[in-house]
Amino acid sequence: MASLLGKSTRRPDIVFYPSGRIAITARISRMLTLQPGDVIDIQTDRDECNIFVRYRNPVGRHVARCHPSAGRRNSAHYICYSRPMVKAMAAIAGMDPKRAMRFPCGYPFDQEGTVYIPIITKLPIQQ
Protein backbone atom coordinates (compact mmCIF):
# COMPACT_ATOMS: atom_id res chain seq x y z
CA MET A 1 0.00 0.00 0.00
CA ALA A 2 1.09 3.58 -0.63
CA SER A 3 0.19 6.72 1.23
CA LEU A 4 -1.60 9.39 -0.79
CA LEU A 5 -0.30 12.26 1.33
CA GLY A 6 3.35 11.25 1.38
CA LYS A 7 5.72 11.68 4.29
CA SER A 8 4.97 15.26 5.28
CA THR A 9 1.56 16.83 5.67
CA ARG A 10 2.91 20.14 6.93
CA ARG A 11 2.42 23.05 4.56
CA PRO A 12 5.22 25.56 4.01
CA ASP A 13 4.92 29.03 5.52
CA ILE A 14 7.50 30.66 3.29
CA VAL A 15 8.77 29.63 -0.15
CA PHE A 16 11.96 30.87 -1.82
CA TYR A 17 11.99 30.47 -5.61
CA PRO A 18 15.16 30.48 -7.79
CA SER A 19 13.90 33.57 -9.64
CA GLY A 20 14.16 35.59 -6.42
CA ARG A 21 10.45 35.50 -5.61
CA ILE A 22 9.59 34.94 -1.97
CA ALA A 23 6.04 33.82 -1.18
CA ILE A 24 4.72 34.51 2.32
CA THR A 25 1.56 32.80 3.56
CA ALA A 26 -1.33 34.54 5.26
CA ARG A 27 -0.34 33.03 8.61
CA ILE A 28 3.08 34.70 8.55
CA SER A 29 1.83 37.99 7.10
CA ARG A 30 -0.75 38.27 9.89
CA MET A 31 1.83 37.56 12.59
CA LEU A 32 4.14 40.21 11.10
CA THR A 33 1.16 42.55 10.44
CA LEU A 34 2.41 43.08 6.89
CA GLN A 35 0.94 45.92 4.87
CA PRO A 36 1.50 46.63 1.16
CA GLY A 37 4.89 48.30 0.75
CA ASP A 38 6.56 46.90 3.87
CA VAL A 39 10.13 45.62 3.49
CA ILE A 40 11.10 42.31 5.06
CA ASP A 41 14.52 41.09 6.08
CA ILE A 42 16.01 37.92 7.53
CA GLN A 43 18.30 38.00 10.52
CA THR A 44 20.76 35.13 10.83
CA ASP A 45 22.70 33.90 13.81
CA ARG A 46 24.72 30.81 12.88
CA ASP A 47 22.07 28.35 11.65
CA GLU A 48 19.08 30.25 13.02
CA CYS A 49 17.06 32.51 10.71
CA ASN A 50 14.36 34.94 11.77
CA ILE A 51 12.12 36.91 9.41
CA PHE A 52 11.01 40.39 10.44
CA VAL A 53 9.77 43.67 8.99
CA ARG A 54 12.76 45.94 8.35
CA TYR A 55 10.82 49.04 7.21
CA ARG A 56 7.14 49.92 7.34
CA ASN A 57 6.10 51.36 3.94
CA PRO A 58 9.27 53.38 3.25
CA VAL A 59 9.65 55.96 0.50
CA GLY A 60 11.73 54.96 -2.52
CA ARG A 61 12.78 51.66 -4.08
CA HIS A 62 13.72 48.81 -1.79
CA VAL A 63 14.67 45.16 -2.21
CA ALA A 64 12.20 42.67 -0.66
CA ARG A 65 9.29 45.11 -0.69
CA CYS A 66 6.09 43.12 -0.12
CA HIS A 67 2.85 43.37 -2.04
CA PRO A 68 -0.30 41.23 -2.08
CA SER A 69 0.04 38.24 -4.37
CA ALA A 70 -3.51 38.36 -5.70
CA GLY A 71 -3.26 42.01 -6.70
CA ARG A 72 -5.96 43.00 -4.24
CA ARG A 73 -5.10 45.42 -1.45
CA ASN A 74 -6.77 43.19 1.16
CA SER A 75 -5.07 39.91 0.17
CA ALA A 76 -3.36 38.15 3.06
CA HIS A 77 -0.76 36.34 0.92
CA TYR A 78 2.29 38.45 0.10
CA ILE A 79 5.20 38.15 -2.30
CA CYS A 80 8.46 40.04 -2.63
CA TYR A 81 11.63 39.68 -4.70
CA SER A 82 15.25 39.37 -3.61
CA ARG A 83 17.72 37.09 -5.37
CA PRO A 84 20.50 37.74 -2.83
CA MET A 85 18.17 36.71 0.01
CA VAL A 86 17.21 33.49 -1.82
CA LYS A 87 20.88 32.63 -2.45
CA ALA A 88 21.76 33.32 1.18
CA MET A 89 18.92 31.10 2.43
CA ALA A 90 20.09 28.30 0.11
CA ALA A 91 23.61 28.57 1.54
CA ILE A 92 22.35 28.56 5.14
CA ALA A 93 20.02 25.60 4.56
CA GLY A 94 22.55 23.72 2.43
CA MET A 95 20.09 23.37 -0.43
CA ASP A 96 20.27 23.79 -4.20
CA PRO A 97 19.44 27.44 -5.11
CA LYS A 98 18.08 26.25 -8.47
CA ARG A 99 15.09 24.59 -6.80
CA ALA A 100 12.26 26.07 -4.77
CA MET A 101 12.91 25.96 -1.03
CA ARG A 102 9.88 25.51 1.21
CA PHE A 103 10.21 26.10 4.94
CA PRO A 104 7.87 25.99 7.92
CA CYS A 105 8.07 28.73 10.52
CA GLY A 106 7.94 28.70 14.29
CA TYR A 107 6.11 30.89 16.76
CA PRO A 108 6.73 34.64 16.82
CA PHE A 109 8.64 36.39 19.56
CA ASP A 110 9.04 40.06 20.36
CA GLN A 111 12.44 41.63 20.88
CA GLU A 112 12.71 45.35 21.58
CA GLY A 113 9.36 46.04 19.90
CA THR A 114 10.11 44.06 16.73
CA VAL A 115 8.30 40.80 15.95
CA TYR A 116 10.58 38.01 14.74
CA ILE A 117 9.44 34.65 13.37
CA PRO A 118 11.95 31.78 13.23
CA ILE A 119 12.32 30.01 9.88
CA ILE A 120 12.92 26.30 10.46
CA THR A 121 15.69 25.52 7.96
CA LYS A 122 16.49 22.07 9.35
CA LEU A 123 13.13 20.65 8.21
CA PRO A 124 12.60 21.75 4.59
CA ILE A 125 9.35 20.59 3.10
CA GLN A 126 9.91 18.47 0.00
CA GLN A 127 7.31 18.65 -2.74
Would you place residue 4 in the very low, low, confident or very high pLDDT band (cuts 50, 70, 90)?
low
Q: Tens of pLDDT along 42-63?
A: 998 877 899 999 999 899 889 9
Provide the pLDDT confidence category of residue 123 given band limits of 50, 70 and 90: low
Backbone φ and ψ for 123, nearest 5 degrees, come out as -125, 65
pLDDT range class, residue 69, cuts 50, 70, 90 = confident
pLDDT for 72-106, tens place per residue? 666 789 999 999 999 999 998 888 889 999 999 99
Question: Whole-number mean pLDDT of the chain?
Answer: 87
pLDDT at 127 > cutoff 60: no
- pLDDT, residue 11, reads 80
Q: What is the mean pLDDT of residues 99-120?
A: 93
> Quick check: 27 pLDDT over 70?
yes
The model carries a pTM of 0.86
Q: Distance (Å, rounded) from C-alpha 56 to C-alpha 36?
A: 9
Cα 48 from Cα 111, distance rounded (Å) = 15
| pLDDT score at 74 | 67
Kindly list the distances between the CA atom of residue 59 and the CA atoms of 53, 56, 82, in Å, as whole numbers in the listed order.
15, 9, 18
